[in-house]
Amino acid sequence: MSPGPRIDGKDYIPWYAWWKDSPHFGKTAKYEAHPNNVRDFYDKAMTFKNSVSVSGGSDFFTARLSFTNLNQNGITPNTSLKRNYFNLNGNYKFSERFNIDAAVNFSDGRVNGDFDDGYSNQTSGSFNQWFGRNLDMKKLKELQDLLTPEGYHANWNWWGQMTTQQAVLLLSLHSGSIRTRG
C-alpha cells in the first residue's frame, strides 16, 4: 500500500526534476509503481575472513603467531566492517611444577555506516513510513551526489533532508578502534 494519489501511469513532475543541477531538470516521468524498490535498495551481504598462523616449539617452549583479516559488507548500502586481528602467545616450561604462559592480542577495525535498525535510523521501517511504491530506488542511487543550492543532499523528501534514508546513507558514520590486550 502506498499513500497518496492513485498510481495510474500519468505524467507528473518527480522530485528530481525540481533541482536545477539534476540531469532530469524540468522533465516529467510516468507516475508508476516500482514493485521491486525494496529489493533494489538492499545490497547482497558478503563476509570474507582470511587467517594465517605459524606455531612451533620444543619440549620446553611453544609459540604461536596468527593474523586474521575480516572484511564484511552489510545489506544496507555503504555499510561495512573491516578488522584485523594479531595474536601472539607462548609458553615456557621451567620445570614440572613451574611454567609461564603469555598472550598478546591486538585488533584494529573500521566500521562504515549505521547498523542501527531501531526507530531513529532504521532501514526496514522506512519502507512502510517513507517509501511508497512510486519511489524509484535506482534514481536515488543515480542522484545520490545531487546537491541543493544550499549544499544539502537533494532527495525526494526535500523538506526533511535529515530524516530520509538517502541522507542517513550519505551521512554514514565512520568509526575505528584499536585494541590491545595482553
Pair 86, 105: CB distance under 8 Å = yes
- Per DSSP, the residues of 93-127 read E-SSS-EEEEEEEEEEEEEES----SSTT-SHHHH
165 closest CA partner among 117, 132, 138, 126:
126
- Residue with the three cell numbers 586481528: 85
Asked whether the predicted pLDDT for residue 130 surpasses 50, the reply is: yes
Q: How far is CA 40 from CA 26, 43, 76, 166, in A?
A: 25, 8, 11, 13
For the ranges 4-13, 63-72, 87-96, 122-131, which has the lowest average pLDDT?
122-131
Q: Which residues contact 173 (CB under 8 A, 6 or more apart)?
A: 111, 112, 113, 114
Q: What is the mean pLDDT of the chain?
A: 81
- Residue 10 is predicted with a pLDDT of 92
What mean pLDDT is predicted for residues 144-156?
79
Asked whether the predicted pLDDT for residue 19 surpasses 70, the reply is: yes
Pair 167, 173: CB distance under 8 Å = no
Pair 51, 27: CB distance under 8 Å = no
Distance CA 61, CA 15 (A): 69
- Residue 27 is predicted with a pLDDT of 94
Residue type, 33: A
pLDDT for 32-83, tens place per residue?
988 888 788 888 899 999 999 999 999 999 999 999 999 999 888 888 999 9
Asked whether the predicted pLDDT for residue 118 surpasses 60, the reply is: no
- Indicate the domain borders of the chain: 1-182
Beta strands in 9-124 (DSSP E): 11-12, 29-30, 46-57, 61-73, 80-93, 99-112
pLDDT for 157-176, tens place per residue?
655 544 444 554 554 544 45
